[in-house]
Structure 1
Amino acid sequence: MQINISGQHLEVTDALRAYIGEKFKRLENHFDKITNAQVIMKVEKLQQKIEATLHIPKGPKEVVANAEHTDMYAAIDLLADKLDRQLKKHKEKSQSLLQGATGR
């Protein structure tokens, strides 16, 4: 999976890149068909905001999630959890459709 990381009003450090890469590797363990990801980090006053768009080949072509926290690392954790839940739901839904189609 290719991860594009950009920052608005903040510098994207190597530590942030490594942390995001580590979290997204966990997502790839649950759903290995992610082609690429676009991550945008923002700072607005005291809030750290992060948004990610994952591109997947089937079903909804994109999985999008947003998170915000006063700490960027905590925001990344929240985002990864949201994406993880969405990917699991998508995977379960696609598996149940396949099982329903073959059972008839």
Structure 2
Amino acid sequence: MNLTISGHHLEVTPSLREYVLTKLDRVTRHFDQVVDINVLLSVEKQKEKEKRQKAEVNVHVKGKDIFVESAHEDLYAAIDELMDKLDRQVCRHKDKVQDHHHASAKRLDAPDLQ
């Protein structure tokens, strides 16, 4: 798994890097076929204070690319929200991939016709 954490108008400190890594553990625990993860942390140059801190992640899993973004006034809260969204999307993708085993029509319980 390739992991890239970068910052735009922001220096990625070791504490930020460690925080993102601990949050990503939850996603990789649910789905182990992750090929590549790109995380971009940025600060927007907006006049209002709200939702200036922005976190984006692009996850390349087998068969699909998943992109999630989140903005908040606190960068750690934006990362938390981002990982919640990413976790939901990864679980949904995993369910779609694994849900190809359906019971055949012969095996379904049919009512006895007498």
TM-score by length of 2: 0.82
| Identity, % of aligned positions | 43
Q: CA RMSD in A?
A: 1.4
- Residue of structure 2 in register with 1:8 after alignment: 8
* Alignment correspondent of 2:38: 38
Runs of 4+ in 1 over 4 A off after TM superposition: none
SS in 2 for 1:10: coil
- Equivalent of 1:75, from 60, 75, 78? 78
Structure 1 or 2: more helix by fraction: 1
SS at match of 1:89: helix
Q: Which has the larger radius of gyration?
A: 2
Matching of residue 50 in structure 1 with residue 66 in structure 2: no
* TM-score (structure 1 length as normaliser): 0.89
The match for 2:98 among 82, 95, 101 is 95
- Structure 2: which 5+ residue stretches go unaligned? 106-114
Distance 1:103 1:69 in 2: 48
- Counterpart of 1:21 in structure 2: which amino acid? L
State the secondary structure of the residue aligned to 1:35.
strand
Paired amino acid for 2:40: I
